Amino acid sequence: MSLEMTCPHCQKPYTLKEFTVGNYSSKIPYPQCDCEKREMARLEAAEKERERLRRIAALNLPAIFEPFRLKDLTCEHAADAQIYVEGFTPRKSKGLFIYGPNGNGKTTLGAVICKELAYRGRRVLFTTMTKTLNAMQEGGGYNQAASATKVLKDLTLYDFVLFDDYGRENYTPLRLQNVFQIVDQLYTHRTVFAVTVNPECMGRLQNYPELEAIKDRMAQVLMSWAFTGPSLRRTNK
Ligand SMILES: Nc1ncnc2c1ncn2[C@@H]1O[C@H](COP(=O)(O)OP(=O)(O)OP(=O)(O)O)[C@@H](O)[C@H]1O
Ligand SMILES: [Mg+2]
Ligand SMILES: [Zn+2]
């Protein structure tokens, strides 16, 4: 082996460093630069970035939330959200009950929290009760039970689950049973979840006394963030 080695990155020649073990000593080429270390760090950072992008892509957020980032967001709870994501601990953090009139940015805040948590390597799901209830009934007949079991089990694999527009979904006796199962599953597994709710949805929920048990669980594990501002849909454009 030739000892005339140079760094493959910066071409600086290696120096010969003498290593002695007992009475055996040998000269080993040794880089004078830290290119190797820097290259390792670069590859690690690139892998981390790919993983971050994978998690964000997996979020499959609606395109309308694409431009929003928590650091540039101004809304009633932007500062709370910053503190929330920084201190977020799976299975330990409280969830969120984000409520208030239409169009003042509840879902947008929920979406940027999801993004921010995904950036930090958390497994996040942005969904609706409608989607989740539909998925539980997939297949119909006998297959429904299997679908329901799978949906419930999969929910607990996430660190954070957001149900946008809770209350918007339609209820049948089976779906009332299922929505209880969804919330109870998250509650008992300590999966952190959040909901956005507007007054119309809140009104719809009040029509179902069966949902009281859910309300009770949510009151225990979710913290409430009220939005009081006017609709940004009208003031924005
Ligand atoms: N912090 C913000 N700054 C500027 N524009 C915003 C902000 N938050 C939301 N918007 C814009 O306002 C509109 C309504 O936002 P969003 O859908 O988040 O409201 P919402 O409270 O979830 O409404 P709803 O109760 O009807 O579901 C959207 O067009 C969104 O792009
Ligand atoms: Mg919304
Ligand atoms: Zn080098």
Question: Which atom belonging to ligand 1 lies closest to the Cα atom of 232?
Answer: 12
In the beta sheet, which residues pair with residue 10? none
* 119 closest CA partner among 160, 64, 172: 160
pLDDT of the chain, 237 residues: tens digit per residue? 555 789 999 999 999 999 898 889 999 898 999 999 999 999 999 998 898 888 888 888 888 888 899 999 999 999 999 999 999 999 999 999 999 999 999 999 999 999 999 988 899 999 999 999 999 999 888 888 899 999 999 999 999 999 999 999 999 999 999 999 999 999 999 999 999 999 999 999 999 999 999 999 999 999 999 999 999 987 655
In the beta sheet, which residues pair with residue 225? 98
Q: What is the DSSP string of 214-233?
A: HHHHHHHHEEEEE--SPPHH
The architecture CATH gives domain 61-235: 3-Layer(aba) Sandwich (3.40)
* Residue of 75, 102, 108, 126 to mutate, ligand 1, most atoms within 8 A of C-beta: 108
Cβ of 11: how many Cβ atoms within 10 Å? 9
What residue segments make up the domains of the chain, in order of their start?
61-235
* DSSP three-state, residue 2: coil
Residues by chain with Cβ below 5 Å of ion ligand 3: 7, 9-10, 33, 35
